[in-house]
Amino acid sequence: MAAQPLEIILGRQFGDSLGMPVFLVDPMGNLLFYNEPAEGILGLRFGETGSMKVEEWATVFKPTDIDGKPLPPEGLPLVQTLATQKPAHGSFYINNLKGERVFITVTAFPIVGRPDRYLGAMAMFWKSPLV
Amino acid sequence: MKITVWGCRGSLPSPDPENFKYGGNTSCVQVMHGDTCIILDAGSGIQRLGKYLNPEIREIHILLSHLHIDHTMGLGFFLPLYNPNVAVHLYGPSATVEPLLHRLRRYFSAPLFPVRLNDLPRHPLIHELDDSTFEIGNVKIQSAFISHPGPTLGYRLTAGNSVLAYMPDHELQMGSSNFPNEPDWTSGYEIAKDADLLFHDGEYTADEYLTKIGWGHSSMEDAIAFGKLCRVKKLSLFHHDPMNSDKRLEKMYQDCTRNLSLDFEVELCCEGNAYEL
């Protein structure tokens, strides 16, 4: 793995110190890091998976909408942020790797370094009440 | 590269008699490579450098790590800026909103300084940098943002097979969530890796650092751990606290190196030190 820019290093450190789930990706969508609270929701330890390509993390959790219809990767807030470099927000179901179906809400935002360098994106997400 | 240290004190010039050995001038390091003259930072040490600079030099490149006052306070007293026959290039970190030129003008204006940039006989050429790579003469320069309050760059200078790395103000613990274990996730690694000589912030003891987290500086212990992580050949501890006398600096150095077995050289940087890489 190439050395990371400062903003991504600080993003990981920020995520690592939070009590809410955080997911961090590079500009290509490669998963760089998720924190312990995210591990609890996803049912998977980061140390076991390491980096994942966007095609992998966007499908491995089998996201579905409220009606149970499969969500394509472009329907996920973080993938939208990667495409548009703008914040995105949404709620959907995932099947975590412990076999549980979890309803989550995600807010994703781009990471833009000084003066105008697009460096990746971060998503914060949380378990929502079932609808 | 011929390297001369004209100032390695941090924060505030401290020309006290008890600081005689390590010096009281703030950050300024001169790098000569053939006719190419590069100056790292314009702390108070640059005033004396300007006095002794070879008068035949017609082009000077000043690389500012950041714009905190101890790294810029000597600019207005740098004689070549008042010589119309010398072209001075000023490089510094980009910010989000305000151009580097405007930020430099804050210093060259009332109430801080009587001479405005526009009053100089030859306006310096301004170059904004971020994570950049470029060349000055035959020296390859790599800059990268590093962990310190406000936009701050570390510099890596490569000439042939020789590498000099310069990070006078750098808070390692804030720039890594797992220091010192993951080089690719450590601020400044790309700048310092495998350097022949690294000038690095080592202002505090480990205990002092605990009361100054977030101020942008590192302990000597962390600087040494970083030098090891980066496999540097020589680490010169830089940015001495203005409150620390020669005696106190040497005590700090002895305390933190006493039980270490290192395969690289570690020293306290002294004003006046000269190196050839």
Shortest CA gap A12–chain B (Å) = 7
Shortest CA gap A11–chain B (Å) = 10
* Residue A48: predicted pLDDT: 83
- With tokens 């329907």, the residue in question is A75
Q: Which two tokens stand for residue B222?
A: 């962390």
Q: What is the mean pLDDT of residues B48-63?
A: 97
Q: Do A115 and B128 touch (CB under 8 A)?
A: yes
CA B122 to chain centre: 25
Instruction: Write down the architecture of domain B2-276 according to CATH.
Output: 4-Layer Sandwich (3.60)
Name the CATH superfamily housing domain A6-127: PAS domain (3.30.450.20)
How many residues are given for chain A?
131
Chain A residues whose CB is inside 8 A of the B151 CB are 114
Tell which A residues from 17 to 56 touch B, by Cβ distance under 8 Å. 17
Identity of the residue in A1, A7, A9 whose CB atom sits nearest the CB atom of B176:
A9
Assess whether pLDDT exceeds 90 at residue A90: yes
Identity of the residue in A5, A16, A113 whose CB atom sits nearest the CB atom of B177:
A16
Assess whether pLDDT exceeds 60 at residue B257: yes
Assess whether pLDDT exceeds 70 at residue A131: no
Question: What's the first-to-final CA gap in chain B, in angstroms?
Answer: 5
CA B181 to chain centre: 25
User: Domain ranges in chain B?
Assistant: 2-276
Closest-approach residue (CA) in chain B for A2: B184
Q: Do B94 and A6 touch (CB under 8 A)?
A: no
- pLDDT grade for A45, boundaries at 50, 70 and 90: confident
Q: What does the pLDDT look like over B132-158, one tens digit per residue?
A: 999 999 999 999 999 999 999 999 999
Assess whether pLDDT exceeds 80 at residue A101: yes
Assess whether pLDDT exceeds 90 at residue A60: no
Of all residues in chain B, the percent with pLDDT exceeding 70 is 100
- pLDDT grade for A130, boundaries at 50, 70 and 90: low
* H helix intervals, chain A: 6-16, 36-42, 46-49, 54-60, 77-84
Shortest CA gap B131–chain A (Å) = 8
The verdict on A10 touching B (C-beta cutoff 8 Å) is yes
Report the alpha-carbon distance of residue A6 to residue A2 in Å, rounded.
12
- pLDDT grade for B52, boundaries at 50, 70 and 90: very high
Closest CA to A104 of A88, A81, A128, A80: A128
The verdict on B190 touching A (C-beta cutoff 8 Å) is yes
- With tokens 């004190």, the residue in question is B9
Q: What is the mean pLDDT of residues B60-88?
A: 98
Q: Fill in the amino acid letter for B227.
A: G
The sign one gets for the Cα dihedral B250, B253, B255, B261 is negative
Q: What is the mean pLDDT of residues B181-188?
A: 94
* Residue A47: predicted pLDDT: 83
Closest-approach residue (CA) in chain B for A17: B177
Report the alpha-carbon distance of residue A33 to residue A5 in Å, rounded.
14
Assess whether pLDDT exceeds 90 at residue A17: no
Report the alpha-carbon distance of residue B65 to residue B177 in Å, rounded.
23
Chain B residues whose CB is inside 8 A of the A18 CB are none
Of all residues in chain B, the percent with pLDDT exceeding 90 is 97
Assess whether pLDDT exceeds 90 at residue A96: no
- pLDDT grade for A1, boundaries at 50, 70 and 90: low
Size of interface A-B (CB pairs under 8 A): 53
Identity of the residue in A9, A16, A113 whose CB atom sits nearest the CB atom of B187:
A9
Site from B65, B152, B185 to mutate, A interface, most A CB atoms within 10 angstroms: B185
Site from B145, B169, B229 to mutate, A interface, most A CB atoms within 10 angstroms: B145
Q: Which two tokens stand for residue B12?
A: 């505030």
Closest-approach residue (CA) in chain B for A113: B96
